Structure 1
Amino acid sequence: MSKTTPRRRPLVAALTGAAALAMVAASAGGPASATDDEHVAQATRTTVFTRGEGGYHTFRIPALVEATDGSLLAFTEGKANGPGDWGDMDVVLKRSTDGGATWGPIQVLVDDGPNKWSNTVPVVDQRTGRIVLNTHRFDGDVVGDDIECGRSSVGSYTMYSDDNGATWSEPVDITAQVNPGNWRMISAGPGHGIQITQGEHAGRLVIPGRHSYVEPGQECTELTGAGGHALISDDGGESWRVGAVDEQGMEELRPNEVSVVELEDGRLYFSARDQGSTPGHRVDTTSSDGGETFDESYDAVNGVVTSTVHGSLVRLPAMHARPDRVVLSIPNHPTAREKLTLWSSFDSGETWEPSYEVYDGPSAYSEMVLLGDRPGNRVIGVAFEGGERFYPGDQELTYHHDIYFTRVPERLLDVPTPPPAVTPDVAGDHDATISGTPGIVAGRFGRGLSLAGDYAELPLTDELSFGSEPFTAATWFRTDYLGNNQAILYAHDRFGPRWWIQVEPNSGNVIRAQISTDKGSTRTLTALGDFVDNEWHHVALVRDVDGVVLYVDGQVAATGASIGTGSVSAGARTGIRVGARVDGINAQFVGAIDEVWLFDTALTAEQVADLAATNSVQGATPVTHLPMKQIVRR
């Protein structure tokens, strides 16, 4: 519990039906001088918030701005009891006066008992120095369905600071200004808003947002419509109104969390998380009239493939030989919140390319601010949710364990990306990409890989997407870790068509396998026994037209009826992971894995027994064989 600003303190002022805000005076965080990046060659990282700090369980959803005096302000949701989207949340802040090298104590801006305040969106008025903060209030017992069904509503509030974030005003309810009346869920950002610098709307404040809505006569149990919008203020944040609105329909494109940046030609570029069906989980649009209207409806982004997560935007204006560049921070993986990457666009968002990997481990929501204005000396400050790959005994998701701040010098965006580390496929052309730093250890046959939050990922290819056809997946594993259920092999999806094999200390140390198809059929097979004994065990999962079979140590351990003609890979975005689930560095395998084999045929019981005994098989050709003996860069 922080001695400077304890989480549970009396509210200073009362607001009818809402929270009150204490005027918070914060001590400065570190020395007053700014960091000179002229000779910085590499990125540097500090921790801003960490799980358990100040009496909070978790901090999530960072927002970041630079005040006119150069101070950095990092806002976040302080979650009292867990990392989930609902429950007791406060608005908290830390400040840095040395460019993010050190951070001051937690400032609790809003503590409204059990109620939820979320999605902070700060924007700086460069003319006055005022920092305006937009945030949202929900009653403590409210969940998403209550909002979508109209049983409860969302309140939108603003507050401000005129002293670079040291003290803050009380929040003011602006809901009537920003909700036309038929919107259910309303949410700005998250992340920073902007102030327009060019044209007739120069000085205007713009906050990007999203909302849900219902059609007349629509039942609340049906999927609500998803829309994007912009909030506009022409008086420095004193009042707000709704500008551009895009409402396309119910299912195809569903813009969610939104970021905005001003382009070189004065247009505004909006980039949103897509909860619909776009290939890359990203949609965008522009506005040519200062956010009054969108030029076109949101559409799929060209060149970005990421997971369903918020991303942030900044622009590096052209300087001398450096072209104008828009930067998007977003994970570089189609299903997992990891590999946070800065993507660059040199054509105002028309096309994108990955430029710099900020963090290859668990990483989710991110936020950026541009620091410095000299060519070759500009730095992008990146605040992001992250964590280590593995916390012994901790089964919480690791991508929101901490909030980090990384300073990325501009020049790093132009450094060529090295080829990925892989463990070779000796049967085909399916080398598995390595994530993390697994060790080389004694295996069942020669050497294997030691994993603890590390994994190998096979690509998504036609050969490895077995569809509705027979297949066999087999490997050796060894573990004595009892902390969580562990994925040995995991294919394609967490909830859609998939197949997987895992060892489950949480269920008596059994081995369990599952096959699920696009036709809704699922078979789950369980091999009883103690397989968390630090001994090598061979496991194989076979799908045939007649049924499914789980083998352990060369013997039949469990069987299931035919799963029909459904596909195990329909709609897949990700290939096959060795040592973790495909939705992130979750269900981490902790131990050693050796000799991964994949066949596009159903091996017989005799063939599986031979494979377990000799590490070879007669009469069948593998589509992939990973000996797991080495890690190389091609």
Structure 2
Amino acid sequence: MSKTTPRRRPLVAALTGAAALAMVAASAGGPASATDDEHVAQATRTTVFTRGEGGYHTFRIPALVEATDGTLLAFAQAKVDGPGDLGESDVVVKRSTDGGSTWGAMQVLAGGGSDDQWANAVPVVDATTGRIVLSMNYIDADADGEDVECGRAAATTYIQHSDDHGASWSDLVDITDMLNPGNWRRVSAGPGHGIQLTQGEHAGRLVIPGRHTYVEAGQTCTDSTGAGGHVRYSDDGGLSWQIGAVDEQGNPDLRPNEVSAVELADGRLYLNARDQGDTAGHRVDTTSSDGGETFDEPYDAVNGVVTSTIQGSVTRLPATAANPDRVILSVTNHPTAREKLTLWSSFDSGETWEPSYEVYDGPSAYSDLAVLDERRGNREVGVLFEGGERFYPGDQELTYHHDIYFTRVPERLLDVPTPPPAVTPDVAGDHDATISGTPGIVAGRFGRGLSLAGDYAELPLTDELSFGSEPFTAATWFRTDYLGNNQAILYAHDRFGPRWWIQVEPNSGNVIRAQISTDKGSTRTLTALGDFVDNEWHHVALVRDVDGVVLYVDGQVAATGASIGTGSVSAGARTGIRVGARVDGINAQFVGAIDEVWLFDTALTAEQVADLAATNSVQGATPVTHLPMKQITRQP
């Protein structure tokens, strides 16, 4: 039932401005990114799906398998109107017969003209027969998020299969009744690939990990935090399926979500899941010693991985005479941001982890893994992942799912150390800011500054820079004429929790806006009216004092607010302070130049702020950080 008919609705291309293009060109003249030259030279990347292709808006949720004849299959959720979780989407696939160098025409496997959502493609290869079994979810077009969470439109599970390595596919079969005990609400598999067990009494079993939600006692479906993990398996080549292991802890701080599985060297099943709760690293895991029929222990926090709240994938490189057994996890390497997709390695079957190889240092999100060419002994790790460039002029969509890329990583590169990051020095303390991207060095307000366009500098999370409930001052100079999106100048700690930030907002009339939010629920938002997207240098300072909050522009008071109380702006922070982007990713990118970033753990007076704007110096106050933004160096 597969077909290649493209969507009827074209994606409208965004207009771009000459100033934006010029800024991108200027930013390209900076230092090399933190990705090692050897990595770049030997791990090639191809684009499999790109935004707007075939009339679809965005392609998301990749899954990757290698068929028994060596053909690679890349699956995705093709979203019609936008990248959000719900909404009309199809399941599509592309095939590669040359190891991922080129990809064939897109096949639409499910959807293809209906208004419904087809999602979460999970392929699993039966190595005995060569059959590829594909699981996916279906949600009716009229369902909203509450309908799904309350079970009024629970996701329906379908399977289909291919006996010719993905060239053609069978009709879809509804297997929902095999998989839902009746009290589960949102039920889904993967995403990513499933596996076939190769050892023990259950050798040959097909395994697909999953997750579900349920309503806890005393709660309603709209406020329940009940989240569980499960395993679904088939012992007849994918014709019938049943639920095996189930974990339902009822713990709001540990909520397994999207999950991936791999068979360990000793035959156990290892499952690694996104945590939607509050574990430090946002990952949880468990094992099964009976082929997925029961869990050995409840899900628990993963040791050694710190990432954002995001899906990940696991696979395994078995031991050889030259290399130890290695379990591999692909997930982003940042506590809050969807970027820096990294392969992590475990040499003790998932007990501990260490970062091994940075696949992509830019915006990146969901991923899936496959061990390639294992039968021929030249092992590589195939990585299919969501990603994008740091900046697309005129495009206000998030960049981390602009495209779906494929990369082959040779096994030898997993032990090549990633070079230390580039930094811009802190001349007041020990808080050098890590550089991401390739910012250019340009004329600044005082000497030189940095030009940014999807690049940023990030200060570390330290006690000195976590101002808590105490007074503080944050100040800098900026210049921009880019009108494409609201732009983060300084952004601290969190997108939704305790935080503070300063932005220039073309979408709101070119104003400057600042916000302070605390862990006690208090928020103050200050707005400086005027046209500050004029390609002129402007000084901005945000001050929190016991008596109130003040926003200064060009040395003058621009807006004030009442005291925000005793709440903390950094409680529970997972990350530090960014210059030129939000902390949740390369989002709200600043496009222009920034110079002279100052941070104080005191509230500067109006006179001190005016002096700082005029002379780039302050009498009577000692900064905790001063980034002149004049140079970029490589840490030893």
Q: TM-score, normalised by structure 2?
A: 0.93
Residues 574-589 of structure 1 correspond to what in structure 2 (within 5 A)?
A: 574-589=575-590
Alignment of 1:174 with 2:175, yes or no, is yes
Aligned runs of 1:284-303 on 2, under 5 Å? 284-303=285-304
Query: Are residues 546 and 70 of structure 1, via their aligned partners in 2, closer, same or farther at CA, if it must alter by over 3 Å?
Result: same
1:608 corresponds to which residue? 609
Match of 1:105 in 2: 105
Instruction: Indicate if the aligned counterparts of 1:135 and 1:158 stay in contact, CA closer than 8 A.
Output: yes
SS of equivalent residue, structure 1 residue 320: coil
Give secondary structure in 1 for the equivalent of 2:177: helix
What CA deviation, in whole Å up to 9, does each residue of 1:75-124 have, x standing for no partner?
A: 10010111111111101000000000000011001126000011010000
Secondary structure of 1:146 counterpart = helix
Q: Could you tell me how far 1:199 is from its partner in structure 2?
A: 0.7
2 CA distance for matches of 1:40 and 1:290?
A: 39
Q: How does 1:193-342 map to 2 (within 5 A)?
A: 193-215=194-216, 218-342=219-343
Q: Which amino acid aligns with 2:497?
A: G
Are residues 8 and 137 of structure 1, via their aligned partners in 2, closer, same or farther at CA, if it must alter by over 3 Å? farther
Aligned residues of 1:327 and 1:344 also touching (Cα < 8 A): yes
Q: Name the CA shift for 1:375/1:108 in 2 (closer, same or farther; >3 Å).
A: closer
Q: Matched residues in 1 for 2:170 and 2:233: separation?
A: 20
The match for 2:20 is none
Q: Could you say if the C-alpha distance between residues 589 and 376 of structure 1 is closer, same or farther in structure 2, counting changes exceeding 3 Å?
A: farther
Counterpart amino acid of residue 569 in structure 1: S
Deviation at 1:8, TM superposition (A): 6.2
Among all aligned residue pairs of Structure 1 and Structure 2, give the percentage whose two residues are the same amino acid. 84
- Secondary structure of residue in 1 paired with 2:178: helix
Deviations 1:536-580 (A, max 9, x none): 110000000000000111111111110000000011101000000
Q: Look up the match of 1:351.
A: 352
Alpha-carbon distance change, 115 to 3 in structure 1, aligned in 2, over 3 angstroms? closer
Indicate whether 1:545 and 2:539 are aligned: no
Cα distance change on mapping 1:546 and 1:265 into 2, 3 Å = same
Letter matched to residue 88 of structure 1: E
Partner of 2:555: 554
Offset from partner CA, 1:356-389 (integer Å, 9 cap, x none): 1000000000011111227983111100000000
Distance 2:211 2:256 in 1: 7
Residue in 2 aligned with 1:70?
70
* Structure 1 residue 190, shift from structure 2 partner: 0.2
**Letter in structure 1 aligned against 2:42:** Q
In 2, Cα distance between the equivalents of 1:491 and 1:247? 35
8 Å CA contact 1:7–1:108 kept in 2: the answer is no
Q: CA deviation at 1:299?
A: 0.3
| 1:296-329, Cα deviation, whole Å (9 max, x unpaired) | 0000000000011110111001111210000000
SS in 2 for 1:186: strand
Match of 1:632 in 2: 633
Relative to structure 1, is the Cα distance of residues 80 and 138 closer, same or farther in structure 2, using a 3 angstrom cutoff? Answer: same
SS at match of 1:177: helix
Amino acid of the residue matched to residue 308 of structure 1? T
1:121-140 to structure 2, matched below 5 A, reads: 121-140=122-141
1:431-471 superposed Cα distances (whole Å, 9 cap, x missing partner): 00000000000111111000000000000010000000000
Q: Displacement, 1:217?
A: 5.6
Q: Matches of 1:430 and 1:629 in 2, distance apart? A: 15
Q: 1:284 to 1:3 in 2, by over 3 A?
A: closer
Q: Is residue 470 from structure 1 mapped to residue 471 from structure 2 by the alignment?
A: yes
Helix, strand or coil: the match of 1:167?
coil
Residues 1:609 and 1:218: Cα distance change in structure 2 (over 3 Å): closer
Distance 2:369 2:101 in 1: 15
- The CA distance in 1 between the partners of 2:152 and 2:173, in whole Å, is 23
SS in 2 for 1:145: helix
Distance 1:375 1:325, change over 3 A: farther
Secondary structure class of the residue paired with 1:114? coil
Q: Report the alpha carbon displacement of residue 3 of structure 1 after superposing the two structures with TM.
A: 10
Contact 1:40 1:409 in 2 (8 A): no
Given that 2:3 and 2:107 are in contact with CA atoms closer than 8 Å, whether structure 1 keeps it comes out as no
Does the Cα contact within 8 Å between 1:56 and 1:81 map onto a contact in 2? yes
Task: Name the counterpart of 1:568.
Answer: 569
* Structure 1 position 177, deviation (Å): 0.4
Q: Distance in 2 between matches of 1:568 and 1:497?
A: 5
Structure 1 stretches of 4+ moved >3 Å: 215-218
Tell me the equivalent position of 1:48. 48
Unpaired stretches in structure 1, ≥5 consecutive residues: 10-38
How far, CA to CA, are the matches of 1:341 and 1:60 in structure 2?
A: 18
Residue identity opposite 1:177 in structure 2? M
C-alpha distance in 2, partners of 1:452/1:589?
6
Matched, 1:79 2:79: yes
Q: Deviations over 1:60-82 (max 9, x none)?
A: 00000000110000010010111
The DSSP-based 3-state class of the residue aligned with 2:285 is strand
C-alpha offsets along residues 12-54 of structure 1, whole Å, 9 cap, x if unaligned? xxxxxxxxxxxxxxxxxxxxxxxxxxx9961000000000001
- Structure-1 separation of matches of 2:152 and 2:110: 24
What secondary structure sits across from 2:59 in the alignment? strand
Q: TM-score, normalised by structure 1?
A: 0.94
Whole-Å Cα distance in 1 between the matches of residues 462 and 189 of structure 2?
A: 38
- The structural deviation recorded for 1:148 is 1.6
Q: Do the aligned residues in 1 keep the contact of 2:274 with 2:283 (CA within 8 Å)?
A: yes
**Secondary structure at 2:482's aligned position in 1?**
coil
Structure 2: 5+ residue runs without aligned partners?
A: 10-38
CA root-mean-square deviation? 1.5
Partners of 1:3 and 1:168 in 2: how far apart?
Answer: 10
Counterpart residue identity of residue 105, structure 2: P
CA contact (8 A) 1:282 1:300 kept: yes
